Amino acid sequence: MTVTAPVLRFESVRKAFGEQVILDDVSLEVPEHSVTVLIGASGSGKSTLLRCANLLEEIDDGAIWLDGEDVTDPRVDADAVRRRIGVVFQAYNLFPHLTVLDNITLGPRRVHRLPRAEAERRALELLDRLGLAAKAGEYPDRLSGGQQQRVALVRAIVSEPRVLLLDEITAALDPELVTEVLAVVRDLKEQGRTMVLATHEMAFARDVADQVCFLADGVILERGTSEQVFGDPQHERTRRFLSRLSEAGRL
């Protein structure tokens, strides 16, 4: 891992929904060209943390820094921030009224003002790399779940975001399609993209993560390389979480 300024930095982030405090005091640095994996029980706030980074939720306290800029400052233009962040959610959220190609080129053309030809060239190149070039003219409804999720990935990276946030992108897929999508994520890691992903796929997390964070009680209870967190967890809660998973055969 190269030692550069972090692309994304969470500083004592706090987020509550009403009385319920979801994130209490979360601090985390995401270095450039690294993959950070968030693990933790359902409801521990992984999705909330990612939504906060994308400014879909307003944090209550603390700050989130993107390339050294405090993006949670109310003076900051949220749209400009989101332009620099790519996001893929569990439900692929492709636009059903647009073809695959138009789904992908919508952002580059309308937000980044790329000419149509250039946007389509980039889109087709990425689609081709994922073996989806033949589907460019199809509507999302006619693709399999795995194909849709890969299109969503292409849509997220086509504008070259500084960081990619992936929230349980394989949760809706069967094992074969999971492999297909995770191969793409691995490929993206090879290309040196900076990513933060929340997942329940522990084997994959272990394999792809430069940094693993275990979320519980509104804080990052444990953080380290995958060898550290999976091989030698320091915290009792982490040990229990991991042993429950291995009992369920998911480790």
Ligand X SMILES: Nc1ncnc2c1ncn2[C@@H]1O[C@H](COP(=O)(O)OP(=O)(O)OP(=O)(O)O)[C@@H](O)[C@H]1O
What are the beta bridge partners of residue 239? none
Tell me whether residue 50 or residue 208 sits nearer to another protein (CB atom): 50
Q: Quickly count: other Cβ atoms within 10 Å of residue 111's Cβ.
A: 13
* Inter-residue contact 94 to 110 (CB < 8 Å): no
- Does residue 17 touch ligand X according to CB under 6 A? yes
- Residues 43-72 as x/- pattern, contact with Mg ion by CB under 5 A: ----x-------------------------
Select from 73-81, 128-136, 177-185, 200-208 the region that touches another protein (CB under 8 A): 73-81
Q: DSSP characters for 208-238?
A: H-SEEEEEETTEEEEEE-HIIIIIS--SHHH
* Inter-residue contact 209 to 35 (CB < 8 Å): yes
- Does residue 60 touch another protein according to CB under 8 A? yes
| Upper half-sphere CA count for residue 7 (Cβ side, 13 Å) | 22
CA proximity to 106, closest of 123, 91, 90, 89: 123
Q: How far apart are CA 231 and CA 208, in angstroms?
A: 15
- Residue 14 binding target from ligand X, another protein, Mg ion, none, CB below 5 to 8 Å by type: another protein
Q: Name residue, tokens 């933790």.
A: 40
Indicate the length of the chain as a whole number: 251
Q: DSSP characters for 46-72?
A: HHHHHHHHTTSS--SEEEEEETTEETT
| Upper half-sphere CA count for residue 225 (Cβ side, 13 Å) | 3
Q: Which of residues 216-235 bind another protein (CB under 8 A)?
A: 219-224, 228, 234-235
**Binding footprint of ligand X, residue count (CB under 6 A):** 12
- Residue 155 binding target from another protein, Mg ion, ligand X, none, CB below 5 to 8 Å by type: none
Select from 19-27, 106-114, 119-127, 144-152 the region that touches another protein (CB under 8 A): 19-27
- Least separation in angstroms between residue 48's CB and ligand X is 3
DSSP state of 142: G
- Least separation in angstroms between residue 125's CB and another protein is 29
Q: Residue of minimal CB distance from Mg ion? A: 47
- Least separation in angstroms between residue 223's CB and another protein is 7
Select from 22-30, 40-48, 57-65, 225-233 the region that touches Mg ion (CB under 5 A): 40-48
- Least separation in angstroms between residue 229's CB and another protein is 10
Using only C-alpha atoms, the chain has a radius of gyration, in whole angstroms, of: 18
- Least separation in angstroms between residue 169's CB and ligand X is 12
Q: Which of residues 184-223 bind another protein (CB under 8 A)?
A: 219-223
* Inter-residue contact 186 to 153 (CB < 8 Å): no
Q: Which residues bind another protein (CB under 8 A)?
A: 12, 14, 17, 21, 24-25, 27, 29, 51, 55-58, 60-63, 72-75, 78, 219-224, 228, 234-235
Q: Which residues bind Mg ion (CB under 5 A)?
A: 47
